[in-house]
Structure 1
Amino acid sequence: MLTGVFINGLAIVMGSLTGVLLRNISEEMKETVTKGIGLGVIALGIQMTISTQSFTLIMISLSIGALIGEALKIETYMNKFGLFLQKHFSKSESSFAEGFVTASLIFVIGSLGIVGAIQSGATGNHETLYTKAVMDGFTAVMLTASFGYGVLFSSIPVVLYQGSIAILANFLVQLIPANFMDELMNEISAIGGLMILGIGLNLLQLTKLRVSNFLPGIIILILLLSLKFVM
């Protein structure tokens, strides 16, 4: 049930270790690579967002989620956790926390991880997560070359997040109507696309969005869609 999840986490670790070997490339090259990833992330975010069938619902969920996220200071605590890891594992890495948070968001948010984890948990089919592992591993190489060891530790939230979904899916997916599941996955992909778009803008240094604080919006969206389905 968790094979695909662990392969995904391992790919991030291996990609990060490979990226360490590229740390000596020039700052100009690192900047170009990082901004190239930013452009790709923006394109992915736009592609995911335009799939929505209810943009109004997405905006409501994102706004309420932002209020909750700011109140809970999710971004602040994620940065503190990254700094805690930096203190214990990489005292010389000034960008450790930024790398951890940025990589965690890129690897966690998105339809591939959610759909793949559900497939793994419900059917034992890991192909989607294997595809995501290849993408994440390559991205980890580039991010580690730019941000350092913090990217390696992003494998922890990825395994915990996708593993939790797979375990829950194993027990719950058979209770959810197929038509509702399709709509749910589509809208989760769309709201995740907006967050991915924010990450891309941050990577290009055009904005300093606290993207982590938007994460509760996914839960709000699920609740609103469930209410809509019941009514």
Structure 2
Amino acid sequence: MGTLINVALIIAGGAAGLIGGKFITVRVQDALLKASALCVLFIGLSGALEKMLIFGDGKLTSTGSTMIIVSFATGALVGEALNLERHMERLGEWLRDRFANGAEGGFVDAFVTASLTVCIGAMAIVGSIQDGILGDWSTLALKGALDCIIVCAMTASMGRGAIFSALPVGVFQGTITLLARFIQPIMTAGALDNLSLVGSMLIFCVGVNLIWGRTFKTANLLPAVIVAVLWALACEA
């Protein structure tokens, strides 16, 4: 139920953005894109700092530096070898050819950017596990409300490709929900913290790309999330 609600809210937000985008100028669309990018940047930054910074004994310290270096270095090597970014682009191109007659400029960029924004993060994992084991879809409903606003702004500024981010969200979260009972023992508190930290940094990369173009191949960095979880499990063993 949680994933269905999340997908429905993404489609609703995209539809609203598509309708609204027809009545706003290019200048306003660009402003919406920059506003969306700013929000994505701070969502990623706040999530990362929340997990990295620890206040204790009257002083502020940081943690996780070694983990993120190893996770991103290893993840980048794996991601580049698999060329995950290109696979996502091909899926976007296939969707564009089927639903936009292959003509809409920026469709693939909109799809990839929106998909990476709404798929990455601890809320997707934790919410799907809660839904699969407890039948509690409240976390995914909250995520869906946030995704609705983000996809609405992205669709208005980047085009209909952003709406199709509902597809990877449905597959990703739906799969985790179905496998929740098998995943639950693995997702310890430490694993979730690492996932949240690395996932938040990836979201920050998406925000950077929205403002400064393809600075990061964010999809090729996705394996860093898996490395981060394995790191936590290894440390706890």
What TM-score results when the alignment is normalised by the length of structure 2?
0.90
Q: Percent identity of the aligned residues?
A: 33
Cα separation, 1, equivalents of 2:154 and 2:91: 19
| Maintained 8 Å contact 2:75/2:224 | yes
Q: Tell me, yes or no, if the aligned pair for 2:191 and 2:230 is still in contact at 8 Å.
A: no
Deviation of 1:193 after TM superposition, in Å, equals: 0.9
Q: Which residue of 2 aligns with 1:4?
A: 2
32 and 103 in structure 1: CA distance in 2 versus 1, 3 angstrom threshold = same
Report the 3-state secondary structure (helix = DSSP H, G, I; strand = E; otherwise coil) of the residue aligned with 1:21.
helix
Structure 1 residue matching 2:212: 3-state secondary structure: coil
1:73 is matched with which residue? 83
Q: Distance in 1 between matches of 2:27 and 2:221?
A: 31
Instruction: Answer whether contact 2:155 2:163 (CA < 8 A) is retained.
Output: yes
1:121 has 2:132 as partner: yes
* 2:233 pairs with 1:223: no
Which residue does the alignment assign to 1:37?
36
Q: SS in structure 1 opposite 2:20?
A: coil
Distance (whole Å) between structure 1 residues aligned to residue 11 and residue 165 of structure 2: 9
Q: Distance between the aligned counterparts of 2:167 and 2:66, measured in 1?
A: 33
Moved more, 219-228 or 138-147: 219-228
Structure 1 residue 207: Cα displacement: 5.3
Look up the equivalent residue of 1:17 and give its one-letter code: A
1: distance between equivalents of 2:69 and 2:139?
28
Aligned residues: 224
SS class of match (1:22) = helix
Identify unmatched segments of 5+ residues in structure 2: 53-62
* Structure 1 runs (4+) greater than 3 angstroms displaced: none
Matching of residues 26-65 of structure 1 within 5 Å:
26-50=25-49, 51-52=51-52, 53-65=63-75
Structure 1 gaps, min length 5: none
* Structure 1 segment 143-182 matched on structure 2, within 5 A: 143-173=154-184, 175-176=185-186, 181-182=188-189
CA RMSD of aligned residues (A): 1.4
Report whether the alignment pairs 1:104 with 2:105: no
Q: TM-score, normalised by structure 1?
A: 0.92
Q: CA deviation at 1:15?
A: 1.0
Shift of 1:172: 4.1
Asked whether the 8 Å contact 2:33–2:158 carries over to 1, the reply is: no
Cα distance, 1:206 vs structure 2: 5.9
Q: Does 1:132 align with 2:137?
A: no
